[in-house]
């Protein structure tokens, strides 16, 4: 696949990810010489209706986004497949950086200051998304979807990005929206597992991501007591910050921060 030209313009450099019927590719725009990301979905007899719906929703969502820390929509084209059917290709801007997950896999854990920097940056993005019309609920915040473009010694010193809008939900005015179960094990709050997603669902996922970044413990292995992550047991940080993380990850919606603004305000109040 490297070297292949798609859409008469994009030269594939390498494959970044692959799932059934889906590919994520790093390519170069032969007109501008800029790197781009191609997300490709194969349209064939095996495609599920939800897959196509989510892919189309990602295209529609990216077309409306205008935030420096999220991908930009660059275009769309279709590909005729050799045997039968077609593939849809979404073109989006390439975000420079290394994922939080890549750092964790190499044994790098993050201190309290670094975790706080990640929290502030992602909450700022969530405020933008949640105030979008209609509100955008990411539904899949996890270490692999947060990019850090700082130098390896100071990864959080540069821009922090939130990527992969392939699981977004466009919220309707009602408090709860019934949806398919979408997200990643360990990072989904109980209501999302129960097919419901609200703005505070993203806060839970971010909270678990931050705890994992600090502790290095995979989300599915975090110690729990009565469905609550035992933050104080695994976080050697100031009590106020532990309490903030505990509130971010409360399993009951009524006990969690309701909005990204409330979470950020409480975080900034910790001296």
Q: From the candidates 51, 140, 164, 202, which is the catalytic residue?
A: 140
Give the whole-angstrom CA distance, residue 269 versus residue 143. Answer: 25
CATH of 98-268, picked from 1.10.510.10, 1.20.210.10, 3.40.462.40, 3.40.50.2030, is: 1.10.510.10
Asked if residues 166 and 58 have their Cβ atoms less than 8 Å apart, the reply is yes
**Cα(183)–Cα(123) distance, integer angstroms:** 19
Nearest to 183, CA basis, from 129, 235, 141: 141
Cα 229 to Cα 250: distance, rounded to the nearest angstrom: 8
Give 99-141 pLDDT, tens digit per residue: 999 999 999 999 999 999 999 999 999 999 999 988 999 999 9
Is 66 annotated in the active site? no
- Indicate if the pLDDT at residue 44 is higher than 90: no
Dihedral sign computed on CA atoms, order 170, 174, 176, 177: negative
List the structure tokens of 14.
């390498």
pLDDT attached to residue 46:
67
Specify the higher pLDDT residue, 71 or 84. Answer: 71
Mean pLDDT for 255-270 is 97
Domain definitions of the chain by residue range = 5-93, 98-268
Q: In this predicted structure, which of 41-50, 114-123, 223-232, 236-245 has the lowest mean pLDDT?
A: 41-50
Q: What is the Cα–Cα distance from 190 to 246, expressed in whole angstroms?
A: 15
Of 20, 78, 29, whose CA–CA distance to 12 is shortest?
29
pLDDT digit string, tens, across residues 160-216: 999 999 888 776 544 444 445 566 788 999 998 877 889 999 999 999 999 999 999
pTM score, two decimals? 0.92
pLDDT computed for residue 19 by the predictor: 81
Architecture of domain 5-93: 2-Layer Sandwich (3.30)
């Amino acid at each position: 696949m490297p070297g292949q030209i798609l859409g008469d313009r994009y030269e594939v450099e390498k494959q970044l990810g692959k799932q059934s019927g889906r590919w994520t590719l790093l390519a170069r725009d032969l007109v501008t010489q800029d790197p781009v990301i191609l997300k490709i979905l194969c349209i064939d007899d095996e495609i599920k209706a939800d897959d196509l719906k989510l892919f189309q929703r990602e295209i529609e969502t990216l077309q409306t986004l205008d935030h420096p820390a999220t991908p930009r929509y660059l275009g769309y084209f279709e590909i005729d497949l050799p045997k039968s059917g077609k593939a849809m290709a979404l073109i989006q801007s390439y975000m420079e950086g290394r994922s939080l997950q890549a750092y964790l896999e190499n044994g790098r854990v993050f201190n309290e200051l670094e975790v706080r920097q990640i929290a502030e940056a992602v909450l700022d993005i969530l405020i933008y998304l949640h105030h979008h019309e209609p509100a955008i609920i990411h539904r899949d915040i996890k270490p692999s979807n947060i990019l850090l473009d700082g130098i390896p010694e100071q990864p959080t010193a540069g821009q922090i990005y939130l990527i992969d809008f392939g699981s977004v939900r466009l919220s309707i005015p009602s408090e709860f929206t019934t949806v398919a179960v979408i997200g990643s094990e360990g990072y989904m709050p109980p209501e999302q597992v129960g097919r419901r997603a609200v703005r505070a669902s993203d806060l839970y996922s971010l909270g678990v991501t931050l705890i994992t970044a600090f502790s290095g413990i995979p989300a599915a292995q975090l110690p729990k007591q009565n469905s609550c992550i035992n933050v104080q047991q695994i976080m050697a940080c100031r009590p106020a910050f532990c309490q903030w993380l505990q509130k971010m990850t409360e399993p009951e919606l009524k006990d969690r921060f309701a909005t990204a603004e409330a979470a950020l305000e409480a975080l900034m109040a910790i001296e």
